[in-house]
A and B are shown apart, each in its own frame.
Chain A
């Protein structure tokens, strides 16, 4: 298990390099994405924008599931997963919100529009930033419950945001997969490879962050125990009353 992490890290890096080459066609090997006819090279940002968006939604979904599991079971592992996916999700969502306008400016002629997908993603980002702020500002034992409740509230909010903005016209291109749009099979291939690479990358960061979170909790527990028991494991006088009494004396 200890070796799995570095092996996975190396594999992910190789996959990311390969996907980068396929998307930007730096070295011409079979399967690189062709240049789009009307938009030109600007279109290549699509290979980062869309996989980041899919990864964001995946991470936020995992966050919601972990939050609900935590509320039901009070399982600390679920809470650690929620912390990790919330943080990494905000990072990927930021990538989506930054790459979108970079593409929109030359293609639509505007940086931003209050379109349904753009606005919902922005609101989702705002909700999860407030989630992280709540986590940061409350450092007591109740934080996991409060944060999990907020995650559920955010999930309830997203469909309402979507419908409220859907009522206005929408400008974002229709989804190319499963929607009305069409896409060159070579582009689709590169897109899926990039998505795989991004998912592995997200998983790698989550994994690393999860290990950090577990270490942090172990340190916290050890410190709490030490303040209770004293440095040598001997009960400190003040904490003596908290020790369980032998059965006969209760």
Chain B
């Protein structure tokens, strides 16, 4: 267990250092979601009252699309110089690699969300009517729901032709309940009309089920030869 976390943390530190120096994933995600925000606000141009009902959907769709940009780059980096093959033959547990990649993506997507949320607030004149502190667990659970399966399916689509297209095709159908949970939880807190309790439980269940499944199957996908 100890070696699992020490290897995971070492890989995570390496990924963060690489990202800090190149800022490839973060910059492309930021610019991409900025474009989505601007295009959405042109296309809908809502009043403040209406925007409360739709912005939960817009914000998560923007993050979902942007996350795919980062997720696609997760494993591509390891293909250069056969790094992934070195991982495969090394005695390090496969799950350490998976946890490091998933946590890394979680950090990158969370950073994106922290930077983009103020823009949404400004462009759509948002004022939260429900209990705002509940947005924090929604963001954490929702982001993890996106990245845990995203990291897994990105590893899966490594072995396919045109892998950049493959990832959303695999990820989006499976993510439907999670997206529904995030969007409805956010909307019910923004409007203050309903409780987000059910959706939080749904997101938590989704996270637990799929984190377990990903950890159970990742070794199989990594070593599938």
Chain A residues with a Cβ under 8 A of chain B:
71, 123, 126-127, 129-130, 133-134, 137-143, 145-146, 149-150, 152-154, 156-157, 160-161, 163-165, 167
> Given contacts A150-B156, A161-B176, A164-B180, is CB(A156)–CB(B202) below 8 Å?
no
**List of B residues within 8 angstroms of A130 by Cβ:** 169-170, 173-174
CB distance from B174 to the nearest CB of A (A): 5
Q: Find B160's partner among A138, A153, A161, A167 (CB 8 Å cutoff).
A: A138
Interface residues of B (CB under 8 A from A): 149, 156-157, 159-162, 166, 169-170, 172-174, 176-177, 180-181, 198, 202, 205-206, 209-210, 213, 217, 220-221, 224-225
- Are B221's CB and A149's CB within 8 A? yes
Query: Which residues on the A side are within 8 Å of B161 (C-beta)?
Result: 137-139
* 10 CB < 8 A contacts A-B: A141-B225, A150-B170, A153-B149, A153-B174, A154-B174, A156-B213, A157-B173, A160-B177, A163-B202, A164-B177
Interchain CB contact under 8 A, A146 and B177: no
Tell whether, in the assembled complex, residue A127 and residue B173 are in contact, meaning their CB atoms are under 8 Å apart. Answer: yes
Pairwise interchain contact B209-A156, C-beta atoms closer than 8 A: yes
* Cα distance, A49 to B209, chains bound together (Å): 32
| Contact of A156 (CB < 8 Å), options: B160, B169, B210, B220 | B210
Contact of A149 among B156, B172, B205 (CB under 8 A): B156
B221-A161 in contact (CB<8A): no
Q: A130-B169, A142-B225 are in contact. Are A167 and B220 (CB under 8 A)?
A: no
Q: Given A126-B176, A134-B166, A142–B159 Cβ distance below 8 Å?
A: yes
- Greatest chain B CB density within 10 A among A130, A138, A145, A153 is at A153
In contact, A161 and B177 (Cβ under 8 angstroms): yes
CA distance A58 to B180 in the complex (A): 27
Known contacts being A146-B159, A146-B221, A164-B181, is A152 close to B169, with CB within 8 Å? no
A157 surroundings in chain B (CB, below 8 A): 173-174, 176-177
Given A146-B221, A164-B180, CB of A134 within 8 Å of CB of B213: no
